[in-house]
A = this chain, B = another copy of it.
Amino acid sequence: MSVFGVYGVKDAAQTVYFGLHALQHRGQEGAGLATFEPDGSCLHHRGLGLAGEVLSQSELARHHGTIAIGSTKYANAAQSGLDNVQPLFFRHKSGDFAIAGEGKLINSDQLYDYLENRGCIFHTGTDSEILANLIKKESAGKRIDYLIRALNMMEGGFTFVIMTRNRIYACRDKYGIHPLAIARLGEGYVISSETCAFDLTGASFIRDVEPGEIVCIDDNGIRSNLYSHFQKHKVCAMEYIYIARPDSDIDGCNVHAFRKESGRRLALECPCPDADIVVGVPDSGLSAAFGYAEQSGIPYEMGLVKNRYVARTFIQPSQAMRERGVQMKLSAVRSIVGGKKLVLVDDSIVRGTTCLKIVKLLRNAGAREVHVRIASPMMTYPCYYGVDTPTRKELLSSKRSLEESCKAIEADSLGYLSREATVASAAGCSELCLACFGGGYPTALYKHETEE
């Protein structure tokens, strides 16, 4: 999922369109846009599909405002369908507003209980709707105070952009689990889940939103509020490892540079003597594979090719579809891998089904030996902050030894990067949340979640 906001820019909706296009990798199930028009009305459009499909030329032509927010949504079983595509739009006599968010609360059940006891009803399964209701429960004081109180009731990893008729608020949880950054565009501002969207829209990076910060943008410029003085910066390691685009920077550290460095360290920690070639899994394993090749001196070869024209149907979250999808997406190159002892570098292993599939693909194409090297630690715990990981028992390595995991993916050998090397790859820019790689959740957890 992604959020994107534009303030004070002519044809803001067009800018959102380009921004969501750059953030498309963070969710392809649906996309949405909301704009405050010059007449004060809010135009709102959502749909299933890619941003470029949902936001047609004719739809964009309806939007003339200078303030807009948008979002892309990935497919997950719990909250599928159009109703959960954001931004959400809310009518209220104190002024209409719209919210888009990403990430996940860990206390949503408690907040539903609290709010429903006070007469609220819910249309969607989104955290944005919880936030909207928390804000409107309050009735005294200023809007920013409501927002501060509301955010303090929410626990988890999240970012939100909130648009009113003349203001955008950008919020990041107090651990800074998911990224969020601000840029300048002409006289106005742009907010984005990732910095890669700034170049495409012509915006100039200013800074990251801080953990626990509410950035408020209006005609007076940018103002900052901290909604919590408790701060323990823990950026999600998977953002660096897999989720973000390589051309994004998170908290000052470039994602490609992180990945390449982790590949170099992987070559040192898990060498593969006498291997003929290094092959990376496109696209997120490539940077690490380059690093591995460079460090080890084993030549990098394009042993796997990705089909750029995968027939697009809405991505199904079922296991069966994912496996089949791989066949359509990747091909092993027989004349490159045939007869070779090869090091296969990927960014991470979740269930192991994709990895098993790729190992088989390579063997079918004649590879003599396939040594799998993973540029992140063993994933052993689920994420509760919005990364779409399965339950513990579905994780390849949660209950398996390294040897058993290696056997399960039918590799000749298997090596993972250490937690220490992962941390070191970020070069001190960020502290990392490594909970999925062995526990140590930054937040408290509710009982049912730790018992799995």
Contacts and interface: CB of A to CB of B under 8 A. Distances in A.
11 contacts: A18-B328, A22-B331, A50-B309, A83-B89, A93-B113, A118-B119, A119-B137, A121-B132, A200-B328, A200-B331, A247-B305
Interface string A273-309: 0000000000100110010001000011110010111
A19 to B, nearest CB: 12
A145 B425 CA distance: 62
Interface-centre pick from A82, A308, A312 (highest chain B CB count, 10 A): A308
Interface in A161-220: 196, 199-200
Interface in A109-131: 112-113, 116-125
Given A81-B44, A133-B121, A309-B28, A334 B116 contact: no
Nearest to A313: B52
Interface string A216-246: 0000000000000000000000000000011
A52 B309 CA distance: 9
Nearest to A24: B309
Contact of A121 (B92, B245, B246): B92
- The copy count of this chain in the complex is 4
Contact of A294 (B120, B283, B299): B299
A249 interface: yes
Contact of A331 (B93, B113, B196): B196
A40 to B, nearest CB: 15
Interface residues of A, number: 77
Contacts of A52: 309-312
A407 interface: no
A123 B93 CA distance: 12
Nearest to A196: B331
A133 B119 contact: yes
B328 A21 contact: yes
Interface-centre pick from A90, A124, A331 (highest chain B CB count, 10 A): A331
A447 interface: no
A308 B92 contact: no
Given A120-B120, A199-B332, 10 more contacts: A22-B307, A45-B81, A53-B311, A82-B82, A93-B112, A199-B365, A200-B328, A247-B332, A254-B335, A256-B305
Contact of A256 (B24, B301, B309): B301
B335 A257 contact: yes
A107 to B, nearest CB: 15
Interface in A13-39: 18, 21-22, 24-25, 28
